[in-house]
Amino acid sequence: MSLYFLALLAAAVSGIPGLFLRRRGGEVAAGLLGLAAALGLGASLAVLSGGQVGSFALRTAALGAPGLLVFDPLAAFFAIPVLILSVCGAVYGLGYWEGRRGNTPLLRLVYGLLTAALLLLVAASHALTFLLAWEGMAIAAFVLVMAEDREAETRRAGWIYLAATHTGTLLLFAAFALLARVQGQAGFGALPAGLAASCVGTALFTLFLLGFGFKAGLFPLHLWLPPAHAAAPSHVSALMSGVLLKMGILGIARFLSWVPDPPPWWGGTLAAAGALSGILGVAFALGQHDLKRLLAYHSIENIGIILLGLGLGTLGKATGHPAMQALGYAGALLHVVNHSLFKGLLFLSAGSVLHATGTRDLERLGGLGRTMPWTSAAFLAGAWAICGLPPLNGFVSEWLIYLGAFRGLGLEPGLGWQGWPLVILVSLALIGALALACFAKAFGAVFLGLPRTETANHAPEAPRTMLLPMGLLALACLAIGVAPALFAPALGRAAGVLGGSPVGSPVGGEALTALAPLRMLTWAAAILGLLALLLGRWLRPAAPTPREGDLPTWDCGYAAADARMQYTASSLADGLVRGLRWVLRPVAHLPRVAGWFPRPARYESHVPDPALDRAAAPALQLVARGAGFLRVAQGGALPVYLLYVLLTLLALLVWMVA
């Protein structure tokens, strides 16, 4: 526990020296975060390898329950991505944020505070510490999203984020108040048996799912996510997508761990929400032109995959199938770490592209693979992992969920509705295929082909401070993908906490390696690698571009291929977007061709967000119009405002006396 506290302290103060130092403030902050990561990872590994679970309590009557923090296996497990991504982001920020306008020391300070709030949050075991850390996290993230507040788009994204996160927090306040009322105190702990099936249990589940869903980016509640991720600096986007969203998952996981007897429909609801988020998330990602927005929609998709796993595990827990429970929960938790690794990697490499070219627009990039080989390799590794292809880590977690769902097919006694495992399997497969299509489009449009603009033609490779964190994350992805058996005991313990055991002993005593042949994956990866090597040697690179004289006279123009003849990102995805237009509802601005000599014309298409652009924004505009009459009260004169205060005070006094 002392290691954990030292890590917390180091992270919290990491930005303070930078306020006073004239130079090298960023290096000091990154160093302190590195120290925090080393200490925190030490604490995490100790707990995850079966060490003692530390806790921190404060004995005052006002709190009700004394326990404020518990660093159990679940906390230790969630602390790992927090630490890794924050230090990678800090190092990356050194190169990325150099020479930018804006208050860099303040951003560093808030970045450290955000890391500290996240560390506090993972270990919170009391509603007070949880909500405190939750709000600290939300506000620190708001400051970071607003880093480039000179741009109107950023300001809009920041306000949407703030409104959404506070709506979620409001629901959480209600949920925790209800929980405290049921338990008689606000500390976290197992709920009494039978509560889950009652009305209170249903209310708790709904409130927690919606409240945490706002943060996690569950499909209709994701409205803040794409704009905020696109507007934030890339290392902040990496931290937000990789870790911040996961805190919503952490909340749901904590809640599930308190419930000894969840009804099967909870699992079904989680799985359905996961399927919705996953499929729609990737479908909307297909329609995006903005690289970071595309990645943000993929975060929604991956949250969906995690929820599918949680739903499967809960189904297993509800109906007494320990194998299904262990595989579902383990898959979900592993995907939490995996997603933060590969999505962090993707956001960092997208940031390198933005840094080098100044644009996130897929239609203005292209051919970057030649000038930015390392960045493109990093992006490819991330894309490979996110599509769930072996031998990288995304495959392992999705594979665990697949295995669990296959075990659930045709199980007796029933799961409430027999079809849930099938729904999970089909949606996972659909998500995987669409993700592959989407990343084929993204990688192809950015790194392959010919550069579409002059800046893309001369994009320089990122500096070393930016490449180093990307390399580290890519290696972590590979390590989990190649040798998953190494991480299985830790994963089993964390999943055991979800099963209801506070120290994380696996359910039914069965180790994860007995349920899933994880060791075989290492061999499979080796064989796969060998095959790829052989194939690479066998498939020679395509013939060099022929000289002009070798070609036939009319060759469809292929002799002089230029950037405008290649597939654009939109045209590559067009088939799928058209096929899905009944959900995506893309908006196209078609030029009208008239006359014998039509003028040059523009064609534009975009896919508006259904939750933000089609539902929330119009609804809120209506509210704003309806509330226009309240403007009279906003005179602008300070004395008038003070008069309101005086009148309120008087009214309260009179009310008290009367």
Partner 1 sequence: MLPDLLIALTMLSNFSLVATSRVSKAIQFAVLQGVLLGLMPLAMGLGRHFHIVLLAFAAVAVKGWFIPFLFRRALKQVHIQREVDPYIGYTVSLMLCALGTGLSLLLAHNLPLKPGTEYALMVPASLATLFTGFLLLVSRRKALTQVVGYLVLENGIYLFGLLLVEDMPALVEAGILLDLFVGIFVMGIVINHIRVAFDSTDTRHLAELKD
DSSP 6-53: HHHHHHHHTTHHHHH-SS-HHHHHHHHHHHHHHHHHHHHHHHHTT-PP
Q: Which contacts of 151-155 are long-range, i.e. CB under 8 A and separated by 24 or more positions?
A: 151/231, 153/227, 153/230, 153/231, 154/231
Radius of gyration of the chain (CA): 26
Return the amino acid letter for 80.
I
| C-beta of 535 vs 658, nearer to partner 1 | 658
Q: If DSSP codes are grouped into helix, strand and coil, which group holds residue 605?
A: strand
CB of 655 to partner 1, least distance (A): 11
| C-beta of 509 vs 636, nearer to partner 1 | 636
Phi, psi of 151 (to 5 degrees): -95, 135
| C-beta of 184 vs 639, nearer to partner 1 | 639
Return the amino acid letter for 261.
D
| C-beta of 588 vs 638, nearer to partner 1 | 638
Minimal CA–CA distance to 400: which of 476, 338, 474, 318?
Answer: 338
| C-beta of 587 vs 643, nearer to partner 1 | 643
Maximal C-alpha separation, the chain: 102
| C-beta of 526 vs 652, nearer to partner 1 | 652
Enumerate binding residues for partner 1 (CB under 8 A). Answer: 634-640, 642-643, 645-646, 649, 653-654, 656-657
Q: If DSSP codes are grouped into helix, strand and coil, which group holds residue 231?
A: helix
CB of 623 to partner 1, least distance (A): 16
CB of 631 to partner 1, least distance (A): 8
Q: Are 460 and 371 in contact (CB under 8 A)?
A: yes
413 prior amide bond cis, ω within 30: yes
Task: Return d(Cα 612, Cα 223) in angstroms, integer.
Answer: 5
| C-beta of 535 vs 630, nearer to partner 1 | 630
Q: Are 119 and 13 in contact (CB under 8 A)?
A: no
| C-beta of 52 vs 648, nearer to partner 1 | 648
Q: Scan for tokens 């084929």, then name that residue.
A: 440
Structure tokens that stand for 18 in this block: 């930078």
| C-beta of 517 vs 635, nearer to partner 1 | 635
CB of 354 to partner 1, least distance (A): 33
Q: If DSSP codes are grouped into helix, strand and coil, which group holds residue 419?
A: coil
Cα angle, residue 348 at apex, residues 237 and 102 outer, rounded to 5°: 60
CB of 136 to partner 1, least distance (A): 22
Q: If DSSP codes are grouped into helix, strand and coil, which group holds residue 107?
A: helix
CB of 642 to partner 1, least distance (A): 5
CB of 647 to partner 1, least distance (A): 10
CB of 446 to partner 1, least distance (A): 41
Q: Are 391 and 384 in contact (CB under 8 A)?
A: no
Return the amino acid letter for 609.
D
| C-beta of 535 vs 637, nearer to partner 1 | 637
Cα angle, residue 638 at apex, residues 635 and 643 outer, rounded to 5°: 85
| C-beta of 475 vs 640, nearer to partner 1 | 640
CB of 640 to partner 1, least distance (A): 8
Return the amino acid letter for 412.
E
Task: Return d(Cα 565, Cα 560) in angstroms, integer.
Answer: 10
| C-beta of 162 vs 573, nearer to partner 1 | 162
Task: Give the burial class of 503: count Cβ atoms within 10 A of its Cβ; 0-12 exposed, 13-18 middle, 19 or more buried.
Answer: middle
CB of 641 to partner 1, least distance (A): 9
Structure tokens that stand for 434 in this block: 């669409």
CB of 649 to partner 1, least distance (A): 8
CB of 61 to partner 1, least distance (A): 15
H or E stretch including 57? strand 54-57
Minimal CA–CA distance to 324: which of 224, 260, 400?
Answer: 400
